[in-house]
Structure 1
Amino acid sequence: KLPFTMEGLSQYKAIVLSDIGANSLLLHPDVWLHGKTVPNRLKLLRDWTRGGGGLVMIGGYFSFQGIDGKARWHRTAVEDALPVTCLPYDDRLEIPEGFRPQITGPKDHALFAGIKGEWPILLGANEVIARDRSDVEILARLPQDQGGHPLLVTGRHGEGRTLVWTSDIGPHWLPNSFVEWPGYARLWTNVLRWVSKAA
């Protein structure tokens, strides 16, 4: 039900892509069942972001490149808008022993407002590469003994703000202990406020 027009997308200040592969937006039933043409919603999302929208991608088995590379966001128009690039193959980092996020950004960043104490354990993430640009800021990483990969990254695309969280938003990579943590609701409130320019 994602809109097929810029007018439709303009009703939203922020759009979150979580565990949905690129083909889910590219291959509308009119295309793959009936051979009809439809607008490319990945290009629309990129252009909507450039015009001032707030685009977020959350990690998971069908985010970034995903399990067996099936999420297929690598080399798409949406990837152009993100502050990271996707790997061209399965990018899952399964960490069953868990890891604690390492906060690398300034403690007074708007995304950390109201979040206190130690962050809970996470169980996995997607591996990505942060873009080497002045607008890109890595605010949290995996620990060095787990590769030091980006976890929370912000950037800009034209007039829009973009953000990625490379772990999941719920189980299994983000366990119930994280969901129950008081900082969980605050983090996602902060994310939506930041990308929509309310903060």
Structure 2
Amino acid sequence: MAKILLAGESWISSTTEYKGYDSFTSTKLESGCEDLLKALRGLGHSVEHLFAHDVPEKFPWTLSELNQYDVVILSDIGANSFNLSDRVFAGGNPTTDRLQLLKEWVNNGGALMMAGGYLSFGGFEGKAHYHNTALEEILPVDVSPFDDRIETPAGAVPEEAIANGISENLGQFPKVLGYQVVTPKNDSDVLMTIDGHPFLITRKVGQGRTLAYTTDIAPHWASQDFMNWTHYGQFFSRCIHWLSGDLQ
């Protein structure tokens, strides 16, 4: 089974409550990946979750640190979190380009998955900003510099495009409530589509592998039907097995 680093998929919420003349503000840390962590761990994988606010300082800085993992998953975490560490943003000093580091790691045999979300691929108002980065070069898709979201409040159903070991024998996928539009690279494989757009795309890069999954792993884009789907964990576990080289 794989050792996985999942970076992102968390946020800090601030709420101001007004009660007549008075008000007070509270904050809390929230995570959107608890179901995925439980599912993958239940299937035997070892998963470390790096919260989004920790990414700028604690995401691996060296190849030796990355080599501790079989698979890295980026979920709802924008390029700025990798580029603007305190040393750069606050101190004005050069440091390791960790998107370039991920590119080198994948080319040397690492495995990377990007899951969709408001801060994935192009992202909400283009704020994820992976266009024209070293990471885009190794992803199986080209990324828009603009807002790349399609909201589907009535739901859209992903469909298998070619026979593959990831979606095989899982039946019809539940509806999802949104996704991102990406452009597959010439040497990638589009395994699944949604509304005619690429949905699950894979690529072999150098000695490594990358996978793009263009919707969220949790609500809101992942509908409650999707979260309760019998094959929820199995589907993502198969993505991990493909990235690890256990599936062709």
Residue 185 (structure 2) aligned to one of 128, 131, 135: 131
Residue 137 (structure 2) aligned to one of 80, 104, 113: 80
How far apart in 2 are the matches of 1:16 and 1:116? Answer: 22
How far apart in 2 are the matches of 1:118 and 1:193? Answer: 21
- 2:160·2:167 contact (CA, 8 Å) conserved in 1? no
Unaligned runs of 5+ in 1: none
Quote the offset at 1:35 in angstroms: 1.4
**Given the alignment of the two structures, is residue 41 of structure 1 paired with residue 98 of structure 2, yes or no?**
yes
How far apart in 2 are the matches of 1:29 and 1:176? Answer: 38
Unaligned runs of 5+ in 2: 1-57
TM-score after normalising by structure 2: 0.75
Residue 172 (structure 1) aligned to one of 212, 220, 239: 220
Q: Equivalent residue of 1:111, what SS?
A: coil
**Moved beyond 6 Å, runs of 4+:** none
Quote the offset at 1:68 in angstroms: 0.5
Larger relative contact order (C-alpha < 8 A, sep ≥ 6)? 1
| Residue in 2 that maps onto 1:184 | 232
How far apart in 2 are the matches of 1:117 and 1:64? Answer: 28
| Residue in 1 that maps onto 2:122 | 65
Residue type at the aligned position of 2:201: V
Quote the offset at 1:149 in angstroms: 1.0
How far apart in 1 are the matches of 2:229 and 2:121? Answer: 26
Quote the offset at 1:73 in angstroms: 0.2
| Residue in 2 that maps onto 1:112 | 167
**Given the alignment of the two structures, is residue 140 of structure 1 paired with residue 192 of structure 2, yes or no?**
yes
| Residue in 1 that maps onto 2:210 | 162
Residue type at the aligned position of 2:222: L
**Given the alignment of the two structures, is residue 11 of structure 1 paired with residue 64 of structure 2, yes or no?**
no
How far apart in 1 are the matches of 2:224 and 2:90? Answer: 39
How far apart in 2 are the matches of 1:80 and 1:178? Answer: 30
Q: Equivalent residue of 1:174, what SS?
A: coil
Larger proportion of strand: 2
| Residue in 1 that maps onto 2:40 | none
Q: Equivalent residue of 1:110, what SS?
A: coil
Residue type at the aligned position of 2:77: I
Q: Equivalent residue of 1:112, what SS?
A: coil
Instruction: Decide which structure has the larger Cα Rg and report it.
Output: 2
Q: Equivalent residue of 2:145, what SS?
A: coil
Quote the offset at 1:47 in angstroms: 0.7
Cα distance per residue 1:51-91 (max 9 Å; x no partner):
11111000000000100100000010000001100011110
How far apart in 1 are the matches of 2:189 and 2:177? Answer: 23
How far apart in 1 are the matches of 2:224 and 2:103? Answer: 33
